Amino acid sequence: MDPMRLFSFLLVISWSVNIIDASLGDADPNYRRCISQCQETGCIGPKCFPPCTFSSDGELVGRPWYTQEPLYLQWKKWDCQSDCRYHCMLDREKEKELLNIGPVKYHGKWPFKRIYGMQEPASVAFSALNLAMHFHGWVSFFILLYYKLPLKDGKKAYYEYAGLWHFYALLSLNSWFWSAVFHSRDVDLTEKLDYSSAVVLLGYSLILSILRSFNVRDEATRVMVSAPLIAFVVTHAMYLNFYKLDYGWNMIICVAMAVTQLTIWAVWAGFSHHPSRWKLWLVVIAGGLAMLLEIYDFPPYEGLLDAHALWHATTIPLTYIWWSFIRDDAKFRTTKFLNKAK
């Protein structure tokens, strides 16, 4: 389970049901007029944009100008439409600020200021820190298993769920990586990669919650439990990527998987008498309280720090606690096994 990524993903997809390129900002006639003028001329007043280059017959050049630049510079560039939208949005927000009118959303997003080409720089930074925290947790778990705890004769860990948590770590790293990329640049490809990686992590977390809470150690039984869920998750991910990115249906599926696994973990924590069950409770409860930041959706401070970015910040310490619970579980199971062997 990754409760932090889980809560975030559920809230993002719930917003997406209502956001289909229709917000107060992009409905503004002045904003639309600015976009139209920019895409026709490549300029907003005296400010012109290199991506909006035109041939002698007035047609937009098919190949973006920045593909002529080195690859390490290309990632900071945007296309003509994106640049027009961004600068028209900034101009409209400056005009409204002079009239003491608060910011509004454009195409489903608050008006963020780009930094080094990143669309939501604070969310990118905090997603990267979450990724780093998962990597730290995974490395510390690895060191505990293979350098601090006793090993079997074949140099294998006594902890029966070691392999499952290693794979969980890889999926978590992948999910937070694409979260950072998606917040850096929200396009169709990055959106699908972010959603798909989150769905896969959510489905695998459900499998892991079942296997650990019911103490499933037999490989054949694990396969029997996991196979139907893996098939379902893979089918759902393919549906989103190759047929239709249906936000409503995706939300139903993800909420069902989320509620199921949270219920499993909560019941298990209550009945297992695990010595570190309080860490599990802390992560679940604190993660739920942190969701208030998402519910109280406010415009980004100085165009950088919004509620979603702050939520990502709160998940960083919770990720540390979660991996601490996983390490405690490894020590608990190893000690229990060795005591039985005596």
Residues of the chain with CATH 1.20.1070: 3-19+118-341
The pair of structure tokens assigned to 143 is: 């060191």
Average model confidence (pLDDT) for the chain?
A: 82
Sign of the alpha-carbon dihedral angle for 154, 157, 159, 163: negative
Q: Do 31 and 106 meet the contact criterion of CB atoms below 8 Å apart?
A: yes
Which residues face 109 on adjacent strands?
A: 106
d(CA 68, CA 7): 41
Rounded Cα distance, 216 and 268, in Å: 13
Q: At 158, is the pLDDT very low, low, confident or very high (cuts 50, 70, 90)?
A: very high
> Which pLDDT does position 18 carry in this prediction?
45
Q: Are 119 and 88 in contact (CB under 8 A)?
A: no
Range in 5-9, 59-63, 194-198, 278-282 with the lowest mean pLDDT: 59-63
Three-state secondary-structure class, residue 157: strand
Q: What is the distance between the terminal CA atoms of the chain, rounded to a whole angstrom?
A: 33
Q: Which pLDDT does position 319 carry in this prediction?
A: 94
Q: Report the 3 state secondary structure along 197-242.
A: HHHHHHHHHHHHHHHHHCCCCCHHHHHHHHHHHHHHHHHHHHHHHH
- Domain 3-19+118-341: state its class: mainly alpha
Per-residue pLDDT, averaged over 242-250, amounts to 82
In the DSSP assignment, the letter for residue 47 is: E
How many Cα atoms sit within 13 Å of 92 on the Cβ side? 26
Q: 287-334 pLDDT, tens per residue?
A: 777 767 666 778 888 888 888 888 889 889 999 999 999 999 999 999
Find where tokens 């490894």 sit: 330
Cβ-contact 307, 297 below 8 angstroms? yes
C-alpha 92: how far from its chain's center? 30
Token pair for residue 205? 């977390």
Asked if the model's pLDDT at residue 9 lies above 60, the reply is no
Residue at 85: amino acid letter: R
> Cα separation of 1 and 148, whole Å?
25
Question: DSSP labels for 305-336?
Answer: B-HHHHHHHHHHHHHHHHHHHHHHHHHHHHHH
* Higher pLDDT pick, 231 / 256: 231
Cβ pair 40, 58 in contact under 8 A:
no
pLDDT of residue 63: 46
Decide: 199 and 5 in contact? Cβ < 8 Å: no
pLDDT in tens, 40-53: 887 887 777 766 75
- Using the predicted structure, report yes or no on whether residue 16 has a pLDDT greater than 80: no
Q: Give the pLDDT of residue 116.
A: 80
Q: What confidence tens digit (pLDDT) does each residue in 208-238 have?
A: 999 999 999 999 999 999 999 999 999 999 9
Q: Is pLDDT of 278 > 60?
A: yes
pLDDT tens-place string over residues 176-218:
999 999 998 888 888 889 989 989 999 999 999 999 999 999 9
Q: For position 38, what pLDDT does the model report?
A: 85
Query: In whole angstroms, what is the distance from residue 297 CA to residue 215 CA?
Result: 40
